[in-house]
Amino acid sequence: MNLSPKFTSKVLIILAIALGVAFAVPARAHNHEPSVRGELKERTKDLRQDIKNIKAGFKTEVSDIKSKREALDARLKDERETAKKRLETVREEAKKVAETRRAEVKDKISKLRDEKKKQIATRLDKQLTHLNTQWTDHFNNVLNHLSKILGKVELRADKAKINGRDVSAVGTAIQNAKTAIETARTAVETQAKKTYIASFSSEDKLGAAFKTVREQLHKDLFGLRDGAMKSAREAVQSALQALKGVPHVNEEPKATTTPSQTQ
């Protein structure tokens, strides 16, 4: 059976048309159903909208964190400068108050007959003031550092909150730490206000007078260190500990959160 190429191609064209019609008709019929396809389209649309909303929400939260960080940086800078100024002010006030007493002691030292004792007494008098300034400055710097660390704890807790974690315990611990730091700042100021002047009535009581003042300075500095300063550090440690207890706390906020309510 010999078929001409012309005939074969005609048959093929007809078959192709038939196949086309065969597939197209049910598909069109399917389209007329009010049904699954339309519903799927709607759901896809809804899901796309949800994803858009989540992304928009995420962007807002991330920009919230950015502005919070900036605000925190500004607050820490302000806190540092204010504390420094307050320390300088109280020192100046204390200096003025003790001016007369210091002048009296200086005068007494200058009248000492023993030249060596005169030099030592002058040196000790300066050292007592210098040590108090040095250590109150140091404690103030430690408190600045603790504030900065607490700021980091705060930022990390905010991120965990965005990720849906419960950070209420961390919030309380942060507040406690802030209070402890503020209490310590006040204690440092109180210490900075103090003046250490060895008053003596006669040359033979010079050593005992300086010993008493040295003991007082020792007691005050250690009292501050082991009291308010340690409490502030422990309070920041507790805030960090509370933060460590939050599950997956190191996770950065992600835009890929599964939409919980799609309808």
Number of residues that bind another protein (CB under 8 A): 48
Report if residue 196 touches another protein, rule: CB under 8 A.
Answer: no
Give me the DSSP letters along the chain: ----HHHHHHHHHHHHHHHHHHHHHHHHHHHHSSSHHHHHHHHHHHHHHHHHHHHHHHHHHHHHHHHHHHHHHHHHHHHHHHHHHHHHHHHHHHHHHTHHHHHHHHHHHHT-S-HHHHHHHHHHHHHHHHHHHHHHHHHHHHHHHHHHHHHHHHHHHHHHHHTT---HHHHHHHHHHHHHHHHHHHHHHHHHH-------SSGGGHHHHHHHHHHHHHHHHHHHIIIIIHHHHHHHHHHHHHHHTSTTTTPPP-TTPPPS---
Question: Footprint of another protein on residues 232-261 (CB under 8 A)?
Answer: 233, 236-237, 240, 243-244, 249-250, 252, 255
Report if residue 192 touches another protein, rule: CB under 8 A.
Answer: no
Question: Footprint of another protein on residues 159-178 (CB under 8 A)?
Answer: 159
CB of 221 to another protein, least distance (A): 5
Which range of residues in 44-52, 75-83, 161-169, 217-225 is near another protein by CB under 8 A? 217-225
Contact residue for another protein among 170, 192, 229, 235 (CB under 8 A): 229
CB of 93 to another protein, least distance (A): 23
Question: Footprint of another protein on residues 115-144 (CB under 8 A)?
Answer: 117, 120-121, 123-124, 127-128, 131, 134-135, 138-139, 142
CB of 192 to another protein, least distance (A): 14
Contact residue for another protein among 45, 230, 259, 262 (CB under 8 A): 230
Amino acid code (one letter) for 227: G
CA angle 237, 82, 223 (to 5 degrees): 50
Report if residue 153 touches another protein, rule: CB under 8 A.
Answer: yes
**Residues binding another protein (CB under 8 A):** 62, 65-66, 69, 117, 120-121, 123-124, 127-128, 131, 134-135, 138-139, 142, 145-146, 148-149, 152-153, 155-156, 159, 206-207, 210-211, 214, 217-218, 221-222, 225, 229-230, 233, 236-237, 240, 243-244, 249-250, 252, 255
